[in-house]
Structures are given as C-alpha cells and as structure tokens.
A and B are shown apart, each in its own frame.
Chain A
Amino acid sequence: MTATETTTRLSLVRFRAGLLVLTGVVLASSLWIFVSVWTTAGTVRDRTAQAILEVAAARSALVAADRAAITSFRSGEATLAGPGQEYANAITQASQSLARVAELNQAGDAGTSSLQVVEGLLAAYSGSVGQADAHFRQADSAVLGAADLWYASRLLHAPGGVLVELESLQGLQRQALADQISWDGMGPWWIGVWLVPPVLLLAVLGWTQHYLRKQFRRVLNAPLLGATALAVGVGFAMLLTFFMHRRLEDVSSQVDVTISGWEARISTEDALGQRDLAALVRQRCGRDGGCGNTVDTFTAGLRQDVTPAPDQKTLTAEVKAVNDAATGAAESGGLEFLIPAAGLAVGLLILFGLHARIDEYRYQA
C-alpha cells in the first residue's frame, strides 16, 4: 500500500469518527433541549397556569361569597335563609379552587405555608358568618350580628387577611411560571451555542462530500447526502423547539390578560360588597358617637367609582384562551420520536456512506 492510500484510509476513518461523534452530540443536545422545553410546556399547561387561575378563581369566589352574605343579612333574607344559597355556592367554589391549588402548587413550601394560613383564616371566617347568622335571627342581638359579619369581612379584607394572602399566593405561582419559562438555556447566546453542533455537522458532511469527490471522482455520495438532509431536519427540529419555547411566553402573556380580567371582577365585586357592609353596619350603630373610628376610617376609604367588570362569559373565554395557548405550546408534533429517529438515521447513513470507501482499503492496511 502506498503512503497516499494509507493517508486516504486514515482520513476516511477520521471523517467517519468525527461525523459520528458530531451526530451523537447533535442528537443528545437537540433531544435534551426538546425534552426540557416539552416537559416545561406540559408543567405549565397542566399545573402552573391552572394554579394561577385557580387562585384567582378562589379570590373571586370569596369576594362573591362575602358580598352574598352581606346582601342576605342586609335585606333581611338571613332571618330565614341565613347567609343564603349564593354564599354557600361561592364558598364551595372557593374551597374547590383552593383544593386544586394545593394539588397543583408550584410555589414550594412558601405556597404550602400560604395555603395553610388561608385555610386557618377561612375556618375563622366561616365561624364568624355562622355567629352572625345566629345573632341576626335574634331580635335583640342584631348589633352583635353586624359585628360578627364585620369581623368576618375583616378576616377577608384586612392586611394579612385571606385576600391579601391569596394575592401573595397568586404572586408566588406567577413567579413560578416566570421562573419556568425564563430558562437561561433559551437566551440568544445559548441558542447560538446550541446551533453550533448541527452547523458543524453540516459543515463536516459537506467537507466529506468534497473530499470524496476529490479522492474518488464521484459526483455525490447518496447516503451522505441523505444524512445531510436529515441533519438539516434535526437542526430544523431544534429551531422548532426554540419556537415552542417562545409559545410559552405567549401563554404567560395570556395568563396575565386573563388575570387582569379576574382582577377587574374581584375589584368591582369587592367595592360593591364593602359598600353594602358599611351601610349594614351603619344601620346598627347609635346616633351618639357612631360606629367608632375603625368603621369611620373604613367608610372614608371606600371606593366611590365602580367600573363595570367583565362578565362570566368573557372570563370563561379568557380562561379557555389560556388553556388553548398552553395546549398549543405543549404540542410536540411527534418531535420526541422524530429527533431520535432522525439522529439514528444520520448515524447509519454516515456509516453506510463511508463503509464502501473504507472497505476498499480493508486488506491494504
């Protein structure tokens, strides 16, 4: 065997080894990135987005329950029906939402602690509403009934109360979502890094074709051409993964839009309920000295402007939009199978494409 032949064989073996190593790197990196983004998309769809929406739903239900109870006591309906069916329904909805939040919680120990506080305060809230009910049924205890309803409402609204705690819990879940989608690995610099292996693989495949054409005077090596096409496909899959991650940011934006709708509804319902509470309490106070300075400060701070809130249909449509966006973001298009299949096919085509040429030197080593 001549020195030239030995060098050619060595070069072919090196090309094969280099291409196989690069293929392995491309397969591993593209699959890892895809699985990471896909898993996150699944978590966002099934847990984080749902947890945020459930906290908002619980807040809304509690504000509605409070207002329903106040309305019932104010109208006199309470003497027969207690805080009323609307109150009972809303409290049940809130409990169900909180149970879901406990199940879906993405905020770790801080979220669990927050839920414990909420559950503790809610038990006290229900107890106070029950006390108010008992006293409103007695003609001579209406003042204490109003006070109990006031205590209940304070448990919801005061600093450190249920609504503030839930707002904080919602913030924790929202932060968890932000953390999940703001992966440094999807930053512009890292995207450049992830694209290096497929670009390098394509470059070495091209170089190998060029080498084969020069050494063996063949126009094109068909298996290597197929490997090149599939490597382009794997690179494209990687680009799709980046777009998949971008769609998670759309989910995040849609969550914010939906939450702002819930906030408007909570704010309006809350303002109306607290106005009703002030009116109810004032009915029970004496003329001399009024209701005391806590109620005076509360009344002075009541919002006078109440803007119309989005109706349930609009909110439901927005929740559906979040779910659709989250489902869309988690749609893999079968990439979890296509990427490894394409990667393996690239490897096999490289082996096949170079095997015949290397084989020609088998007995000349």
Chain B
Amino acid sequence: MKTFARFLAVALLAGSLVSGCSATGGSGKVSVLASWTGDEETAFRAVLTAFTEESGIVVDYQGTRALDQVLASDVQRGTAPDVAVLPNPGSLATYVRSGDLYPLDLGAEADSYGQQWLNLQKVGTDRQYAVAVKADLKSAIWYNTARLRGPKPTTWAELVALGTSLDTPWCLGMGAPPTSGWPGTDWIEDILLHSAGTEVYRRFSAGTLPWTSPQVRTAWTDWGTLVTGPKSVRGGAAAALLTDFGDSAKPMFANPPGCALEHQASFMMSRYQAIQRPDGSSPRAGADFDFFRFPGRSVSEVSADLAGMFHDTPQARALTKFLASPKAQAIWPANRSGSAFSANRAVDTGIYGDPVSKRVATSLVSDAQLCFDASDLMPATMTGAFYRAVLEFLSAPSKLDTLLEQLEKIRQGIPAAGWLNIPCG
C-alpha cells in the first residue's frame, strides 16, 4: 500500500525532524560488494560490525557469486558500490585504468605491510589503491599426518619420488564453476616459480614471457608427470575434472585413504576441518593434517582479496582505513571456524588457533620472497583461457603444444597496457 506507506513515511520523517535525531546517529552509510556468502559472509560481517561499532557508519553489504558481472554492470550503470572486494588484482587494475577506482589514504596503517604486499596494493601504480582484506599461502602441499611420516620433500625430484612411492598419491579436483580449472593453474604457477625463479615468473605474470617458452612448457610437462600418469589420481583425469576442488581432499581422510597429498591454498584448512569422518569427528590442523612448503627455491606464491574504493566518500575512506588496521585484520583470523589469514605484520600470530595456521601466517608476513598468483594478476581473457587450458590438458595431455600455441596467441593479442607488472620476490 504505497499511499499508506508514504503517509507513514512522511509522519515518521516529521517525527524524526522534530525530535532532532536519527537511527544512524548521522554518520552515514557505506555500501560494500564482495564474493563472500554463507559462512564467509558471516565472518566478514563480523569485521563490518566492528567498523560500525567504532565509527557509527552503517554498512550495506552484498555478497554475490557473480561478483565480476555484478560489479561490471553496477559500474556501467553508475551505481557502483562504495567499496568492492575482488579476489583478482587484474580486475582491480582494469578499474584503476578506467578511472573508476580511487586511491586510498591509509596513513600509518600502510606501514604494517611488507613491501611485497604494498606493491600488490598499489596495483601496478605508485599509489595505494587497495587493501588486502585477507591473504592466503598457495605454495603448500597438504597431507594426512597419519599417512605421511618422516622427512618431507625439499626438491622437485624428491616430490616426484614421493608420489611414485604412493598408490594414487594426489588429491585433485578441478571443478569450480564458473572458474573450473584454477586449481591446476596454481600448480603450474608454483612449478614455474620454484623451477625457473622469480624473474621468469614475474615476466610470465606480466605477459612478457611466451607461453611457448621452454620454462613454461616444462612447468606443464612436470605437472603432467605428477598427475596424469597411471595411478597418480584416483579415477584419473575424468575424476579430477568432475570433482569439485572443495571435495578433492575428502578421500585423504577416508579409511582406507584414497589420496595422500594435495596442492592447495591455505584457505582449504577450513574445508578440511569441516569434513565429517565415519566416526563423526573432523580432521584437526596439526594433529590430522599439516603442510610442507612447495619444494625448490625458497619463495612462496600467495594470493589476496583486495578492497578498492569506487566512491570517494568519507565513509568509504574510513572503511578502507579500518580494513587495513591491525584491529580489523585480526577479527576474521581469530574466527576459529574459518581459515583466514592477515598480511598485516602488526597482527599478533597468537590469535591463530593452531600451530599450522601460525606457520601459514608467519610465512605471509615474514617470508623474504613472495610472489602473487599469476593468473589473478593476468587480464581476465588470459586468466579464463589459462583455466580452460588446464582442463584441456588434463583431458588430453598430448595436446599441450597446441594449447600453448593457443595461449600464446591470446597473450599476443592483449595490449601491453592490459597487463600488470607486480614485482616478484
């Protein structure tokens, strides 16, 4: 009943004017768009609630699985959110170039981040355009502690030997519609980073290294050696393609185990801890699962969810500054049901509930050399093609040369300005 509602609205407005007060205390609102829904949304909302309590600014949060599409549509219609959190710096850089994103003024909060994180937050410019809301370590190989005892591999050869010594060693799941294939891109990036080094990796992520180069080709074939051989993955390529990335490690905790090792990012810890074993218990970090660093050079691949400001308002500035602060950065990691990590050095690692999480957190803030997930830095067209190529390669490894040539054609078709050049190392 619009008429009646209008009447009531006018009456209420008049009432509030007379009493001279408003529900929000007059501090305003800020809208936030991110990809987090479900439990992750609940965890992020705890951060936003703390911001509201501190500032009096009300946050209007929207979480969506189709983040890129919703944001692109909103920006096009002139209704962009005040702040958006994106998992890929490549997309953020596009908005910096188009002038839709505003630089941030983090003040002293910026000093709490290491140089590599500051480089990422500058998104290829000389100003801070983003805040890493949460960060992840990607160069990790997870294992069931009961099944894998003794020293862990420190070289690629040792990793291959370990795989060969086990029956169906690798847990592998490529399913993540509409971005299926990304777990494979993490594999290839990590192999390239640890075998060819940081400079080659930087060139790869910045679009100046051909896909047909020997280093890139070797990374693909090395991965193929590990996961496409007979008995490498339970069910072979078909099972790897059809299994969701979130389900791939379930057989690791089955009895008898269906796989022993998984290359995955640190955010998988919460998924491991959510697995229900036949006796009703769930795997615990440290006691039931742990990780070892990707063998090879002492460098880690990392990723982050970055908040950027699409409207330069005092409320949006206050929120981004708050998100960068040690106080905000500690809220989500302190949530025991999740596995969020902070890149802020001022966050006390004591907030992490187990020794495995503490090691991940320490790596993120203390490792001498960090490089960012290359597929997240690449232009969207290249990233999408990379995902597809992984699926195609798993399905038919013999097509590798054709796939690399196709990827190379796409790389050549993207203008130099479309690439992000973020220092690696």
Q: Are A and B bound to each other? A: yes
- A43, A124, A140, A294: the one contacting B243 at CB < 8 Å is A294
CA distance A125 to B168 in the complex (A): 32
The smallest C-beta distance from A323 to any residue of chain B, in angstroms, reads 22
Binds A, one of B21-29, B42-50, B229-237: B229-237
CA distance A279 to B258 in the complex (A): 23
A285 touches B239 (CB 8 A): yes
The smallest C-beta distance from B282 to any residue of chain A, in angstroms, reads 16
B3 touches A35 (CB 8 A): yes
A117 touches B244 (CB 8 A): no
Give the contacts of B153-186 with A (CB-CB under 8 A): 168, 173-175, 177-178, 180
A289 touches B234 (CB 8 A): yes
B177 touches A290 (CB 8 A): no
Query: B200 interface residue, CB < 8 Å from A?
Result: no
Query: B242 interface residue, CB < 8 Å from A?
Result: yes
Query: B188 interface residue, CB < 8 Å from A?
Result: no
CA distance A239 to B180 in the complex (A): 61
CA distance A273 to B287 in the complex (A): 43
Q: Would you list 23 pairs from A and B whose C-beta atoms are within 8 A, ordered by A residue? A: A116-B64, A116-B66, A120-B65, A120-B66, A120-B70, A120-B73, A121-B66, A128-B178, A141-B395, A147-B175, A147-B180, A147-B241, A151-B175, A155-B177, A155-B178, A160-B38, A285-B242, A289-B235, A291-B235, A293-B243, A293-B251, A294-B243, A295-B239
Query: A185 interface residue, CB < 8 Å from B?
Result: yes
List B contacts of A321 (CB < 8 A).
none
Query: B396 interface residue, CB < 8 Å from A?
Result: yes
CA distance A43 to B1 in the complex (A): 10
- B174, B238, B396: the one contacting A284 at CB < 8 Å is B238
Please list the 7 inter-chain residue pairs (A to B) with the smallest Cβ-Cβ separation, ordered nearest first.
A120-B66, A120-B69, A289-B235, A124-B178, A292-B239, A292-B243, A289-B234
Query: A113 interface residue, CB < 8 Å from B?
Result: yes
Closest to A124 in B: B178
CA distance A158 to B173 in the complex (A): 16
Give the contacts of A157-173 with B (CB-CB under 8 A): 158-160
Closest to A141 in B: B395
List B contacts of A230 (CB < 8 A).
none
Give the contacts of B240-299 with A (CB-CB under 8 A): 240-244, 247-248, 250-251, 258
Give the contacts of A248-285 with B (CB-CB under 8 A): 281, 284-285
Query: A150 interface residue, CB < 8 Å from B?
Result: yes
Q: Which of A35, A147, A284 has the most CB of B within 10 A?
A: A147
The smallest C-beta distance from B396 to any residue of chain A, in angstroms, reads 6
A-contact bits for B54-74, CB 8 A (1 contact / 0 none) = 000000001011101110011
CA distance A117 to B63 in the complex (A): 10
B247 touches A292 (CB 8 A): yes
A124 touches B64 (CB 8 A): no
Query: A154 interface residue, CB < 8 Å from B?
Result: yes
The smallest C-beta distance from B204 to any residue of chain A, in angstroms, reads 25
List A contacts of B180 (CB < 8 A).
147, 151
The smallest C-beta distance from A162 to any residue of chain B, in angstroms, reads 10
CA distance A123 to B239 in the complex (A): 25
The smallest C-beta distance from B96 to any residue of chain A, in angstroms, reads 22
Query: A29 interface residue, CB < 8 Å from B?
Result: no
CA distance A247 to B341 in the complex (A): 57
B178 touches A121 (CB 8 A): yes
B237 touches A128 (CB 8 A): no
A113 touches B69 (CB 8 A): no
Query: A288 interface residue, CB < 8 Å from B?
Result: yes
Query: A18 interface residue, CB < 8 Å from B?
Result: no
B69 touches A123 (CB 8 A): yes
Give the contacts of B333-351 with A (CB-CB under 8 A): none
B-contact bits for A227-248, CB 8 A (1 contact / 0 none) = 0000000000000000000000
Query: A36 interface residue, CB < 8 Å from B?
Result: yes
Closest to A286 in B: B236
Query: B37 interface residue, CB < 8 Å from A?
Result: yes
Query: A5 interface residue, CB < 8 Å from B?
Result: no
Q: Which of B69, B238, B251, B396 has the most CB of A within 10 A?
A: B238
CA distance A113 to B175 in the complex (A): 26
- B66, B233, B243, B391: the one contacting A117 at CB < 8 Å is B66
List B contacts of A155 (CB < 8 A).
177-178
A120 touches B68 (CB 8 A): yes
Closest to B3 in A: A36
CA distance A121 to B250 in the complex (A): 27
The smallest C-beta distance from A100 to any residue of chain B, in angstroms, reads 19
CA distance A117 to B174 in the complex (A): 23
List A contacts of B1 (CB < 8 A).
36, 40, 180, 183, 185
CA distance A292 to B236 in the complex (A): 9
CA distance A125 to B178 in the complex (A): 8
Closest to A180 in B: B1
Query: A358 interface residue, CB < 8 Å from B?
Result: no
Q: Which of A35, A120, A127, A155 has the most CB of B within 10 A?
A: A120
Closest to A165 in B: B65
- A135, A143, A154, A293: the one contacting B177 at CB < 8 Å is A154
Closest to B396 in A: A140
A288 touches B69 (CB 8 A): no
CA distance A281 to B241 in the complex (A): 11
List B contacts of A288 (CB < 8 A).
234-236
Closest to B394 in A: A144
A294 touches B178 (CB 8 A): no
B62 touches A144 (CB 8 A): no
A292-B240 contact given A117-B64, A124-B178, CB 8 Å threshold: yes
CA distance A140 to B392 in the complex (A): 11
CA distance A39 to B68 in the complex (A): 39
A286 touches B239 (CB 8 A): yes
A297-B247 contact given A151-B175, A292-B235, CB 8 Å threshold: yes
A285 touches B66 (CB 8 A): no
The smallest C-beta distance from B22 to any residue of chain A, in angstroms, reads 21
CA distance A231 to B201 in the complex (A): 87
- B3, B175, B236, B258: the one contacting A294 at CB < 8 Å is B175
CA distance A184 to B391 in the complex (A): 58
A289 touches B242 (CB 8 A): no
The smallest C-beta distance from A288 to any residue of chain B, in angstroms, reads 7
A127 touches B175 (CB 8 A): no
